[in-house]
Amino acid sequence: MPTIVVEVMPKAELLDPQGKAVAGVLGRLGKTRFTSVRLGKRFELTVDGPVDEAVLAEVRELADSVLSNAVIEDVVGIHVVGADSTVGVSA
């Protein structure tokens, strides 16, 4: 079954306290080559039928209206994984 993946990240200009906490533990583990860590969300939306342009348009709309809040987050990627997709990667 095809799955549409939506990726959401905290806005680049905002402090990301969760990413900062992860970066902190990497430092404590001696992993010093990583200068920063940012932490976001990945949504997987599965559909029964093929993923056509109408499905993708609906996902794009939901990504902006429900899955993310434009005040604090950006949708950084929407792409299709799995069989039966009639369209490829889209942003």
Partner 1 sequence: MRIGVVTFPGSLDDRDAQRAIRIAGAEPVALWHGEHDLRGVDAIVLPGGFSYGDYLRAGAIASLSPIMAEVIDAANSGMPVLGICNGFQMLTEAHLLEGGLIRNDHGSFICRDQQLRVENTDTVWTSGFASGQEITIPLKNGEGGFIASAETLAELEGEGRVVVRYVGLNPNGSLNDIAGITNARGNVVGLMPHPEHAVEAGFGPDTASAMRSGTDGLTFFTSAIERMLASA
Cβ count near 79 (within 10 Å): 15
DSSP state of 35: -
The Cα–Cα gap between 15 and 22 comes to 13
* Binder among 12, 15, 54, 91 for partner 1 (CB under 8 A): 15
DSSP state of 37: -
- 30-69 mask for partner 1 (x: CB under 8 A)? ------------------------------------xx-x
What are the residues binding partner 1 (CB under 8 A)? 10, 14-15, 17-18, 20-21, 66-67, 69, 71-73
